[in-house]
Amino acid sequence: RLPEFQRNNFGGSFGGPIRKDKTFFYGVYEELKQNLGVTDTTTVPNANCHATPQNLGVLTAGTGTGQCPDLLATMSAGSTVTISQYMAPFLALIPNPNQAAVGNGLPHYNYSAADRLTENYGQMRVDQNFSQSDMFFARYTIDNGVINNATTGLGAVSTGNNFPEFGLVGTTRNQWLTLAEVHVFSPSILNTARLSFSRTAWKQAGTLNGLTANNGLGPAIITGQPVGLVSIAGSNGGSYTEFGSTSGTSGVYGVQNIYTMSDDVSVTRGKHAFRFGVLFNRWNEGVQQAPSVTGFLVFPSFARFVQSLPNLIEFATPGSNENRDYIFNTIGFYGQDDWRATSRLTVNLGLRYEFLTTPWELSGRASRVLHPFTDPFTVGPLLANHSFHDFSPRIGLAYDLFGNGKTALRAGFGIYDDVGNFGASIQQDAIGSPPFSGLTDVFGPALPSGPVQLPLTPAILNATA
């Protein structure tokens, strides 16, 4: 049967006066619940390639009864291999196929599971009219979201699909608070002042289902961590589905706080409508990453997998700290003039100047590479700040073609600078910027000739790094 799909979306709003012609309120709430059935399609080894009481952990290459055809990619028919004690627990995580291979492909294991999503949104606003020349409002908004793929591998690893043992749970909480006051000084002068705060917080964590080893964390690649990520190359250019978890025991999370002050003044003088303003933002960007904290093993074939002979081991360099907390400010000024040059022509002229202060990391965990091919990582600012040159002109025209107000010709030009948008750079800095964090890759020649013993202990990791 096709997986089930359910979605319920409901909510409501309510508002009215608190004090006649003076104080008003308005509130809204909305909730979304979704249960999306999904079918995961994974590629797995043949059923005869598992350890059973009959084969006593010894696999024979071949296509006959009880033989493992997956070994034929690198071994001759009739050759045998003993499943390593280190890889047997990992092999046990891979289910038997329930769909035969098509052509020269690999067999599949297909299963249905639920992808659940919940979102709750609410907003409350209060308006206050102090007088005909003084008005105020306060608004608070909150948006909570939860995505639960605890019973499906969707999103658990970068490739998307996974096995039922591994899932992903993510949460978000977004909040906005705004206070604004509008004051009319005269029929030609209007001022609008705002204070606001926004907070965006998110977290993602892998889930483990039905595992018993290692206190429910599954067989470990790195001591004390959940089961890591395993990749196995298959025959005929294919590969088996990666499996495992990547987020470690702490998960990955982030938070962004923005404190904002702004003021806008509108002045009308004859044929000119002037506007001036200033905008100040204080940004706090924090992130906790977990790159390869659970370990990553890559095997060039199924035969090398069952013998614990990877050609690549990747892990977070010992002593790495993937937590970053950056602070910076953005400051913007602008002025513009809407000039009614003639009864049919309006000209818009403006200039904006906006820049950011050089971001700094609260604990000094910031480094950079100035010349990638010649220089090592050095401690210092994350980026070179060129925003002090961000002057952004604007010009626009509006012309009434026939003078009757029905047909207008418009044209415009502007230079726009986006400041403060480098969250991805902060996340990348947390993943691998020596000397504070990094990834260590150990390739074939540096690996031992015999089976790699798991889990990898701190002593081995430090010696390898």
Query: From the DSSP assignment, how many helices (H) and strands (E) are in the chain?
Result: 5, 21
Q: How many CB atoms lie within 10 A of CB 191?
A: 15
- Neighbour-count burial of 390, counting CB atoms closer than 10 A to its CB (0-12 exposed, 13-18 middle, 19+ buried): middle
Q: Do 254 and 288 form a contact (C-beta atoms < 8 A)?
A: yes
Look up tokens 């499996």; give the residue.
243
Question: What is the tens place of the pLDDT at every residue in 374-427?
Answer: 888 888 888 888 899 999 999 999 999 999 989 999 999 999 998 887 777 777
Question: What is the tens place of the pLDDT at every residue in 66-116?
Answer: 999 999 989 999 999 999 999 999 999 999 999 988 766 789 998 888 888
Q: Do 233 and 299 form a contact (C-beta atoms < 8 A)?
A: yes
H or E element that contains 337: strand 323-340
**Total number of residues shown for the chain:** 465
Separation in Å, CA 91 to CA 131, 139, 459: 75, 55, 26
- Spell 17-43 as b/e; 16+ CB within 10 A means b: eeeeeeebeeeeeeeeebbbebebebb
Q: What is the pLDDT of residue 368?
A: 83
What is the spatial distance between Cα 167 and Cα 157, in angstroms, rounded to a whole number? 9
Q: Is the peptide bond before 107 cis (omega within 30 degrees of 0)?
A: no
Q: What is the pLDDT of residue 155?
A: 42
Separation in Å, CA 428 to CA 21, 83, 420: 53, 38, 16
Strand ranges in 100-188 using DSSP code E only, listed in sequence order = 108-131, 134-148, 166-186
166-186 vs 391-400, strand pairing mode? unpaired
Helices assigned H by DSSP within 150-258: 213-216
What is the spatial distance between Cα 111 and Cα 99, in angstroms, rounded to a whole number? 11
In which residue ranges of the chain is pLDDT below 50?
A: 154-161
Which pair of structure tokens corresponds to residue 175? 């909040």
What is the spatial distance between Cα 457 and Cα 441, in angstroms, rounded to a whole number? 16
Q: How many CB atoms lie within 10 A of CB 230?
A: 25
Coil, strand, or helix at residue 288? strand
Coil, strand, or helix at residue 319? coil
β-partners of residue 336 are: 275, 350
CA-based nearest residue to 363, from 447, 264, 268, 286: 286
